[in-house]
Amino acid sequence: MNARKVSLMLLTITAAAVLAACGEQAEYEEPMSNPEVTHPDESAAVSTENAPTLDYDIGVAVPMPSETAKNEELEKLIIDEWSIPEETQADTRYYYNYVDLNADGTDEVLALVVGDYTSGSGGSSMLIASQKDGKLTAMQSLSGIQAPVIAGDTMEGEWMDLIVASGGGWVTLNYDGKGYPTVSDGTALSSLENVSGYAVFYNDLAADVDGGSALHLG
């Protein structure tokens, strides 16, 4: 074989190798990086269309009127939590909202319960429930709660602060790893000026009763 044929053969082999390498490189794809996970509250706008006009001071928190659909599973949880007898259930009303308190991607349920078995001179009772495996589970109940309650953007122990009215002012309830303190053990807050988050139970409670839109147990 003469030198010219050898050169041509080597050139052909080299070109084929380059083309093959290019083809392999074109088919290769960098592995996808993990998609950015956003908090549900950052990607979904909260509707305030039905928010009433109230004189409540909520700082710059977003007003969240309560859900309007009856929740039978939540009702049963409320009845069991306070052992509310059947004869008083129809006179017990509740307001509830969904808020992801611990930013784990699953909303907790906050329910304000107003009635003879859950209310007193200082306010009414609130139930905090989790949604685990599609089932509601009671986590904690608090007494002396007035509407609205602010679920603040500030977080301690990876749970949102709850800001509630108390004694003509406001107190902050910081999650301690096991639960929220009682209202009487909350930390006094001088102003709501810089408070942001969601004002749940943002309803005109009297108007709800008069207009027949309040939710009742049973």
Q: Does any domain span residue 85?
A: yes
Chain-wide mean pLDDT for the chain? Answer: 81
Closest alpha carbon to 140 in 111, 106, 105: 111
Q: pLDDT, tens digit, for every residue of 158-211?
A: 899 999 999 889 999 999 989 999 999 999 998 898 889 999 999 999 999 999
Q: pLDDT, tens digit, for every residue of 21-45?
A: 444 443 433 333 332 323 334 434 4
Q: pLDDT, tens digit, for every residue of 74-83?
A: 999 999 999 9
Q: Does any domain span residue 90?
A: yes
Q: Does any domain span residue 6?
A: no
pLDDT-based confidence at residue 18 (cuts at 50, 70, 90)? very low
Q: Does any domain span residue 143?
A: yes
Measure CA of the first residue to CA of the last residue in the chain; give whole Å.
Answer: 99
- Full-model pTM: 0.77
Task: Write down the residue that tokens 């007193």 correspond to.
Answer: 120
pLDDT-based confidence at residue 1 (cuts at 50, 70, 90)? very low
Count how many domains the chain has.
1
Q: Which domain holds residue 211?
A: 52-216
Q: Does any domain span residue 25?
A: no
Q: DSSP H helical segments within the chain, as ranges? A: 3-27, 40-43, 72-82, 86-89, 205-211
Q: Does any domain span residue 39?
A: no
